[in-house]
Amino acid sequence: MSSPSDAEVIRRSLGEPEAFGLIYDRHAATLLRFLGRRAGAKVSEGLVGELFRIAFERRKTFDGSRPTALPWLYGIGANRWLRASARMAPGRDAADGRAGAAALDARLLFPRVADAIESLPDDEREALLLFAWEALSYQSMAEALELPIGTVRSRLNRARARLRELLATNGKNRVRRR
């Protein structure tokens, strides 16, 4: 017996609200990682709770033709918290204490990359982070952001081009905080 799709579970939750707990069970860990990267580990649990509260309240609006609710849930997160910055410790040592040249380069470059990402317009940053951190397909990104797939592709293309410009090693381009 196969498990019901997210669409079936959400449809059932309209009459049996406790059924929505299965959506939480399926996707909370993924969304916790997503929000943890965005807002930090300390607040991500509260954010996940808030995200699922909102999803529960809006479950009537879920498009039942979608088999998975994850892009919809990412969309709720994006609309609420994608403006939060990822808080990463650029000076953290490698786990085994033997940071190689590549790891050292990455730690030194991270603040510059973080500043460049932060300086992107919100819509481009949203697309870039959903693609890079969450490995969403263009179609899933379009669903999460409630945009046509062509718009998602152009935003991602513009974000990549801006990042290349901002991170140019020639020293002429400087990253500026918004």
pLDDT at 134 > cutoff 50: yes
Domain extent for 127: 101-166
Of 48, 81, 114, which one is at a domain's C-terminal end? 81
pLDDT at 16 > cutoff 80: yes
pLDDT digits (tens, 9 = 90+) for 47-106: 888 899 999 999 999 989 888 898 889 878 766 654 343 333 344 444 444 445 555 555
Domain containing residue 124: CATH number: 1.10.10.10
- Convert the chain into a string of H (helix), E (strand) and C (coil): CCCCCHHHHHHHHCCCHHHHHHHHHHHHHHHHHHHHHHHCHHHHHHHHHHHHHHHHHCHHHCCCCCCCCHHHHHHHHHHHHCCCCCCCCCCCCCCCCCCCHHHHHHHHHHHHHHHHHHHCCHHHHHHHHHHHCCCCCHHHHHHHHCCCHHHHHHHHHHHHHHHHHHCCCCCCCCCCCC
In this structure, are 10 and 77 located in the same domain?
yes
Of 81, 115, 147, which one is at a domain's C-terminal end? 81
Answer yes or no: is 176 within a domain. no
State how many domains the chain has: 2
Q: Note the pLDDT of residue 104.
A: 53
Would the pTM of this model clear 0.85, i.e. be above it?
A: no
